[in-house]
Structure 1
Amino acid sequence: MSTAEAGVPADDGLVLRITSAFPDNPEPFITETAFVREGDVILSVHKVVTQKPLSGVEAVLPAALAAYRAAATG
C-alpha cells in the first residue's frame, strides 16, 4: 500500500494505491482510489482492480474534479 499527492489543484488530495500479489500469479493486482477535498465536499475516484494498468486514477481525476466544480457552480 502506498499514498501519493493527487496532483490536482484542490484544498487537499491524495491517491491510495493497494497492490495485491497472489502466489499462483506473477503479476500483481492494483487498486487505486483518489480523494480530493473541495471545501466541505470529498470527491473520490476509484479504479477497479487490474493487472498492468496503462494509467492510474490521475488520468481521470482532473476531469472528475472539473465536472464537480461545473455542477456545483451551475
Structure 2
Amino acid sequence: MPEHNIVADVSGRVWKLEVAEGQQVEEGATLLIVESMKMEIPVEAPAAGTVLRILAAEGDMVTDEQVLVVLASA
C-alpha cells in the first residue's frame, strides 16, 4: 500500500480534525481544517485509503508544507 504524506497548504492553526486514525476515507474527503487569516482551508485526501497517522491536533499551529496526516491508499 503506498503511503501519502498530506501537507498543509498554508501556515495557520488546526481548527478541526474531521477523521481519526484507522478511519477509511474516500478521495476528496476533508481530513482536517486549517484556519489562516480568518479563512477555513480544508485539507483533503488525494486518494481513497486509510488514515495511518494524524500528526497535528486541534489548536496546533502548523506551517506551510508541514506533514499533517499519513494516508495509506487502497
* TM-score category of the 2 structures, normalised to the smaller one: 0.3 to 0.5
Say which structure is richer in helix: 1
Q: Which has the larger radius of gyration?
A: 1
- Greater RCO, 1 or 2 (C-alpha within 8 Å, sep 6+): 2
TM-score normalised by the chain length of structure 1 = 0.36
Q: Structure 2 length as normaliser, TM-score?
A: 0.36
